[in-house]
Structure 1
Amino acid sequence: MTGGDSLPPIARALVGEIEGHLLVAAARAEGRTAAARFTAPFDWLGDARRREVEERFEAEYLTLARTSWQRTAERAGRLRGEYEERYRALRRRLLAGFLLGACAVFGCAGVLVAVLGAGRG
């Protein structure tokens, strides 16, 4: 995304939709360019057949791009889940370590107070 995590959800959705439209428009343009390059050597094709081949090529190009984007989004979702789980596990370990350390410090302080108090009396 564009780093607009501080935006309200409606604005984030709108930005995401605009980015999606721009991405599709760019893929269509790339597909048209690739189709024109592909059909350029076929000078024996008539204009109508050349346009038909270019349109089919562009459609296939866009289909492949969408499939690739879907796979990427699915993988990103899986990775996000994995990283979130690791982050939660790390937080649990750090909290447990902190609590264990605090208990050790307070335990040692308690023993020290007891020893010093017993030495005076």
Structure 2
Amino acid sequence: MTGRDGSFVDMEALLNEIEGHLLVDAARTEARTAAAELTAGLDWLTERQREEVARRFTERYLALNRASWQRTARRGEELRAQYETRYRQLRQRLLGCVLLGCALVFGTVLVALSAG
């Protein structure tokens, strides 16, 4: 797919970016809802104090979410690196077994031809 300027658009990257925006928006909504629920029971606070508590709660909630997402992303990268390393090892082992098998078959054929 091409953009308006004729350049190619990476649809996967675009979809990932849209998904990211939607996740952040959902987290903000969750944070505001949780902050409203928390401050609703604090009748002894003034309206301005409640707004300040809600603002700080929302900021902290989003910071915790961001840290959690970053830890999850780092762990995903670690797992991917481990998987890729293991996959390369298995592929090399399989290639070695196939080459050994071919050598054995070839050797058996040569012995059979020379004996026969």
TM-score by length of 1: 0.86
Q: Does 1:19 align with 2:28?
A: no
Which whole-Å CA distance do the structure 2 matches of 1:48 and 1:10 have between them?
46
Please name the residue that 1:60 is paired with. 60
Please name the residue that 2:86 is paired with. 86
Which structure has the larger Rg? 1
Q: Does 1:105 align with 2:105?
A: yes
> Which stretch shows the higher mean deviation, 47-56 or 83-92?
47-56
Runs of 4+ in 1 over 3 A off after TM superposition: none
Which whole-Å CA distance do the structure 2 matches of 1:25 and 1:96 have between them?
51
Amino acid at match of 1:66: R
* Cα distance, 1:9–1:94 mapped onto 2, change above 3 Å: farther
Amino acid at match of 1:31: A
Q: Does 1:49 align with 2:54?
A: no
Which whole-Å CA distance do the structure 1 matches of 2:101 and 2:91 have between them?
15
1:21, CA displacement in angstroms? 0.7
1:54, CA displacement in angstroms? 0.5
Amino acid at match of 1:49: Q
TM-score by length of 2: 0.89
1:99, CA displacement in angstroms? 0.6
For structure 2, which runs of at least 5 residues remain unmatched after alignment? 1-7
Please name the residue that 2:30 is paired with. 30
Amino acid at match of 2:37: R
Which whole-Å CA distance do the structure 2 matches of 1:14 and 1:106 have between them?
52
For structure 1, which runs of at least 5 residues remain unmatched after alignment? 1-7, 117-121
